[in-house]
Every structure is written in C-alpha cells, then in structure tokens.
Amino acid sequence: MLRKSLFPLLVCLTVPAWTQTLSETLPNGLKVIVKEDKRAPVAVSQLWYKVGSVDEQPGKTGLSHALEHMMFKGTPTVPSGEFSRRVAALGGQFNAYTNRSETVYYENIAAANLPEILKLEADRMQNLNFSDKEFTNEMSVIREERRQRTEDSAAGKMWEHIYLNSFTSAPLRASVIGYMNDLHTLKAEDLRAWYQRYYAPNNATLVIVGDVDAKRTLQTAARLFGSIPAKNQPPRNQINEAAERAPVSAETTSAVTRQPLIALSYRVPALRRTDDKMPYALDVLSDILAGNSSSRLDKNLVRGKQIALSAGAGYDILSREMPLFTLTAMPNNGVSSQTLLAQMRAEIKDIADNGISSEELKRVKNIAESSEIYARDSIVSQASLMGQLETRGFRYSDEAEIRRRLQKVSAEDVQEAAKLLTDSRSSVVVVKPAAAAAPAKK
C-alpha cells in the first residue's frame, strides 16, 4: 500500500464547462470538495489525512504507513475483512498510500453507490478497532514489504539514502515505510495513539469527483461525517533546514544491481505562496533536464555521449516539507559513477552559465499543456490534485493561478533556478557488493 506520489502538477487546471465544483468546511473542520464530471456514471472518493513520515519521531518511524494498513482491520460494526468485501460487492476498487506528507484512502465506485462508501469511511475515521493479534500479523507483512521495496531493491536503497544523506533532522531523513529496527519494536498502542492524534475531521480533506449532484453529495457528507468530533492538533515537527550546506556523498551496496545507480540532490524551496517565483522556475528546469526525449540529460548523456543508460530529474513543487531537486542516472558500461556525476553537474552549470533556448522552453510548455488536456479525462487525477493542494497549504481553486504562473516562466527564470544548484549538493551511489575473496588453497 506504500507508494511514491507520482501525480504530475500540470493537470486538471482548466475546468470543463459541464462541471460544477462546490466545497464546504463542516463545523468539525472537515473540508469537503465535490466536483461534478458527468461523462461516465462513476465517482472517486479520496480521503486525505495530513500525516506522513515527516510527522514521526526517532524510534517510531513507519507509524503512518503501519496505521494505513491497520485501517482495513475493522470497526465494531464492520469487522476485519468486511470493508474490502463490501466494496467488492458494490463493484468498486479501493486502496491507500502513505508518503512523506499525507496518508490517502481512495475508492472508485459506481456513482449510485457512493453514499455506501462514504458511510464506510466515516465509520473508520472514528471507530477503528484492531486487535493485538492482527497488529502482530500485519507488522510481519510490513517488514516483508520493506525487504522487497527497500532492502532488496537497488532503487529503493538509493531513495532511502538520498534522504539520509541530504538532511540532518530526523523527520526529513526518515524512511516512509520505517527502519527495520523500528518495525520490530512498534507496539499496537503506538498505532492506536497515532490514530487518536491525527485521524480527525479537522486534519482531513474529503474530495469527490464524478457523476454526482454536488449539492446533494455535500449534504450526504455532512450527514455522515458531521457528528465526528474535532480533536486538538499537536505541534508539528520542524520540516525545513538551511539551504546552504557543505557537499556530502555516500555509497551503499545492493546485490540486485549489475550497474551502479547514482543520485545528485539539492535542497531547494517549495511553493509556499502562489506568487512565489523560484519554485515555478525549478519545476520547469526539471522538465528541461529530463522527462522527454529532447530533454538535456537524455539528449546529451544518454543518446549523445552515451555515458548513461538512463537519466531523470524530479522536483515536488507542492511539497509540505523542504523538497529536494534530484537527478538520477545509471552509467553505461565502462563509465565510472564519478564521471557521470561530474557530467550531470556540468549540464546544470551550462544552463546556469548560458541559459536555455526559447525552443527548449516552448517545447516543455507545450508538453505540459498536452499532458493537462489528456489528464482531464481522469477523475482520479482531478481529485488527486485538489487533495494535494488542500493538504499542502493551498486551496483547490489555486490551480488555475498556478498553471498561469508556470506558463509565464521565462528562460531567464530557468537560468536563475540553475544557479541555485551549485556546490550545496548531496550525492549517493549504489553499487554491487565487491566479490568476496576466494579462500586460499592449502
């Protein structure tokens, strides 16, 4: 159930004429957003809780993700296993995910059956009741998930070490799934306390998109969720560090990779106000560097010099915590990791020194526009962007302004963003373990 948030920002920013979006904050603090999209008789419900790994403490990592698993273990009126049985009987699909910023539960369902889904979600928002035995059994599942996705995955190891190497404060460094030592020592009471602390209507956003009547759906949500009491929210962790830092590097091993994996990361600002300027330029810079066949890393390092088998770049403009601007790559045969790292830094320096062409800038903006057009057909994408905006400090209605400002980013803005990515960097290399020396013959 753990996944990275791969939702692109540039989607769903134009509201089709046939939709109506209504929102209401209930007296208990629950924000409800309903968007009509009547092109098919289906609906998606997403319940966003503002709690993730950045809210955890040392020794208790993995709490948010473990609780996500336990949320399917029943209430007094919906026993363990009954939630999935009922959703399946209604012809729906469901799942959940945890990331650094939030925990999200979602269902895709025939629109006529949406009230039943909302009833189930309201029930487990306040009545979760899992046993110690179920907790013990599920922690074994979670430990195996960590082995598969982190310890036995070269990419998983790389991403865990990116955060370990990039930050010094525990909340920013922590693994979303948790460290293995903590997964052996967490108690059922730890999860129950976490549930009581953060699973509250005033720490959640409910987003519904589909073939629904917006006004009537708001009334249904108010009836089902409105009586759940709000809770006092505890102070949050400090989730920012100074941007400047001395360059650091780390190396780790993975037995499941034949080629090294490398990463280059920089601490950069996130979007905090819609009129911030640099985050928009960083977002466009990530597309200039990677993301399509004409981007700098693909054109120059993969196809041009052929020193990389693959290369990518990423930046989360809406990050609740301090985000990273990260470049990842796999060197070609015979190319050292340090050589490829140096070439990646050279690509950034070239943009910082010489800028980008108008053709490059126009290309990435056209790609963003076409992606947005295609994404309008997905009610899941529409709901995801609204939930992400609301959970990370914005309003769902800010999306049009964000889109407008991204389209106004200039070549000079992108050049200034590249100048941020100087020597305050973190590099991580994942290599295959060295072969053990053969024992000497007697």
Residues forming the active site: 68
Please provide the size of the chain in residues: 442
Fill in the amino acid letter for 140: S
Q: CA-CA distance, 53 to 61, in Å (whole number)?
A: 7
- Return phi, psi of residue 11, to 5°: -140, 155
DSSP letters of 244-282?
A: ----EEEEEE-TT-SS-EEEEEEE-PPP-STT-SHHHHH
Rounded to the nearest angstrom, the gap between the alpha carbon of residue 390 and the centroid of all alpha carbons in its chain is: 14
Cβ contact 320:239 at 8 Å: yes
Fill in the amino acid letter for 430: V
Cβ contact 38:18 at 8 Å: yes
Q: Which class for 303: exposed (0-12), middle (13-18), buried (19 or more C-beta within 10 A)? A: exposed
Q: CA-CA distance, 214 to 20, in Å (whole number)?
A: 7
H or E element at residue 172? helix 170-173
H or E element at residue 42? strand 42-49
206: left (phi over 0), alpha (psi -120 to 50) or beta: beta
DSSP letters of 332-358?
A: PTT--HHHHHHHHHHHHHHHHHH---H
